[in-house]
Structure 1
Amino acid sequence: MAQQVEPDTATINKKRLVALSSTFALGYSALLVSLNKAWYSKEERSDFHFFDDNSQWKQVDKVGHFWGAFHESRAGIDMLRWAGLPDQKAILLGGLTGILLQTPIEIFDGYQTEYGASVGDLIANTVGSATVVAQELAWNEVRIMPKYSFHTTRYADMRPNVLGSSLGEQALKDYNGQTYWLSVDVAAFLPETSKYPKWLNIAVGYGAEEIVYNSASGNEALGLDAHRQYYLSPDLNLMHFKGRSKIWNTALYVLSIVKVPAPALEYNRKSGFKLHALYF
């Protein structure tokens, strides 16, 4: 749990705040340039418009927006705490980070001929940021952590221009290989005297498979049957292993956005229940 700074004793560290602002501006500019090159450079442009894509990709993309906005706001909150802002102000201002970072992406989308800006994406971004703010205000810590895992699939080769031709692009674009999790810190909800291991979380996951096209007819033409997948798996609470090293703690903080590979129970409508000895 991040250390809470009381409003009446907090002193803003101006050097840290300036460094934070400068790094944020430079890093975000580089991110937008990279994203534009990886995702939008080969797309045909048009006038800005909205596009209803809420029924597409089995909503895996919407969950991805939720995950991204959550962790961007989580980082924003903790960085403002590091800069010395009073805790509640850090939560409320830092909590806007996910929305601020994700909105320009929707602006990019709005100029794409084949699709456009998505109201559903904007809602998912807002819910993601609001979820971390709600947890911080209620518990002064994150107890339910959204996480991400990925494995390569054969479906990307069927449509590499959309699902990605390289590993990096596929991790971003191939929804067949993406799984999003809610990892629950069970011990945080139990009394301090409980013997439940504080490092053991329980995670529920969501994904989808056999989605190469947005339309059912497009997938069926390839002999595919797009379907949802649900998972239950143990998970490590990486933040429990924090120590005295800042480098170590930072590494754990970053890695905590990713689900640790572990056994998992899957359910989907095609094959029912399936046990994975090790699921990525």
Structure 2
Amino acid sequence: MKNQLSFFILLVFFSIFAKGQSPIDTTQREFSKLKFGLATGGGALFYAGTLTGLYTVWYQDNHKTNFHWTNDNDGWMQIDKFGHAYTCYLFGKLGMQSMKWAGVSRNKSVIYGGSFGVLFMTSVEILDAHYLEWGASPMDMVANASGGLLLIGQELAFKKQIVTYKFSFHPTELQNYRPDILGDAPMEQLVEDYNGQTFWLSLNLRSVFRHQKFLPKWLNIAGGYGAYGMLGGTTNAKYDIDGNLLPP
């Protein structure tokens, strides 16, 4: 749930300041101390404020323990792992764009700004690791790294995003059976109903075949992953919160 909250905050924040899945700005601007201060200060406030919010909402009423690992690989048919990678990709994109906006050199913007997502989600995993109800997940860490590497690796190798990580959602009727788990209101469903989430890798053909002028710049081919039929993380409950029998 806390990762879902992070994902929701990400969607709202990034859609306002970086227009979500828009192309990355490649303009090298003159360095501005004011813009750099605003970018780093805003990032620090967002980082600290969100982690504080997560602690207040999810952690403080649970059981603190020593650092420990957990295996949640069988949960939600791994849709949540794709969410981790996507979150790191977009947070990194936001950090990178913020550094470029401030006039930081390109490579530093890519490496330091692009690592913001991995830093944030690693902090969440460390919090997880100190509470009995959760634990740090190795596969979450792998997913986090993959999202950051997809962004940073392409920027360093190609100076652009040839493959873009994208997200889509469609409402499902399954949330009617378990609104407490899959969300009740539309925005809750967006982040809690994994049945409606699809994560895409979109390849821009013109970026690959640069000399084929007949290919429009907007043309992409994409492959996506989604899953359906999940009323619970690892198993489907037989009864809903009111004791009514659920479909198999």
TM-score after normalising by structure 2 = 0.77
Unaligned runs of 5+ in 2: 1-23, 240-244
Q: How far has the Cα of 1:155 moved from its partner?
A: 2.2
Equivalent of 1:145, from 164, 177, 182?
164
The CA deviation string for residues 28-73 of structure 1, in whole angstroms up to 9 with x for no partner, is 33433554566x2697434243211012111100011111101111
The CA deviation string for residues 203-233 of structure 1, in whole angstroms up to 9 with x for no partner, is 2111001112233464799444xxxxxxxxx
Instruction: Give, in whole Å, the separation in 2 of the partners of 1:19 and 1:218.
Output: 48
Paired residues, number: 219
- Which residue of the partner structure matches residue 61 of structure 1? 80
- Report which of the two has the higher share of helix: 2
Unaligned runs of 5+ in 1: 225-280
SS at match of 1:214: coil
RMSD: 2.6
- Which residue of the partner structure matches residue 276 of structure 1? none
Query: Are residues 41 and 160 of structure 1, via their aligned partners in 2, closer, same or farther at CA, if it must alter by over 3 Å?
Result: farther
- Which residue of the partner structure matches residue 107 of structure 1? 126
Q: Which residues in structure 2 correspond to 1:205-216 (within 5 Å)? A: 205-216=224-235
1:159 aligns with 2:178: yes
- Identity among equivalent positions (%) equals 33
Letter matched to residue 178 of structure 1 = Q
- Which residue of the partner structure matches residue 3 of structure 2? none
- Which residue of the partner structure matches residue 71 of structure 1? 90
Query: Are residues 219 and 103 of structure 1, via their aligned partners in 2, closer, same or farther at CA, if it must alter by over 3 Å?
Result: farther
SS at match of 1:155: helix
Instruction: Give, in whole Å, the separation in 2 of the partners of 1:159 and 1:32.
Output: 28
The answer to whether the 8 Å contact 1:144/1:182 transfers is yes
Q: How far has the Cα of 1:154 moved from its partner?
A: 2.4
The CA deviation string for residues 228-274 of structure 1, in whole angstroms up to 9 with x for no partner, is xxxxxxxxxxxxxxxxxxxxxxxxxxxxxxxxxxxxxxxxxxxxxxx
The answer to whether the 8 Å contact 2:82/2:199 transfers is yes
Query: Are residues 170 and 27 of structure 1, via their aligned partners in 2, closer, same or farther at CA, if it must alter by over 3 Å?
Result: same
- Which residue of the partner structure matches residue 215 of structure 2? 196
SS at match of 1:209: coil
The answer to whether the 8 Å contact 1:74/1:94 transfers is yes
Q: Which residues in structure 2 correspond to 1:29-40 (within 5 Å)? A: 29-35=48-54, 40=58
The answer to whether the 8 Å contact 1:43/1:112 transfers is no
- Which residue of the partner structure matches residue 145 of structure 2? 126
Instruction: Give, in whole Å, the separation in 1 of the partners of 2:116 and 2:145.
Output: 10
- Which residue of the partner structure matches residue 228 of structure 1? none
The answer to whether the 8 Å contact 1:4/1:87 transfers is no
SS at match of 2:77: helix
1:45 aligns with 2:63: yes
The answer to whether the 8 Å contact 1:67/1:147 transfers is yes
Letter matched to residue 175 of structure 1 = Y
The answer to whether the 8 Å contact 1:176/1:210 transfers is yes
Letter matched to residue 214 of structure 1 = G
Farther-moved stretch of structure 1 (70-79 vs 53-62): 70-79
The CA deviation string for residues 53-108 of structure 1, in whole angstroms up to 9 with x for no partner, is 01211110001111110111122122212212221122111221111111222234
Equivalent of 1:2, from 4, 18, 25?
25
TM-score after normalising by structure 1 = 0.69
Instruction: Give, in whole Å, the separation in 2 of the partners of 1:210 and 1:219.
Output: 13
Query: Are residues 166 and 49 of structure 1, via their aligned partners in 2, closer, same or farther at CA, if it must alter by over 3 Å?
Result: farther
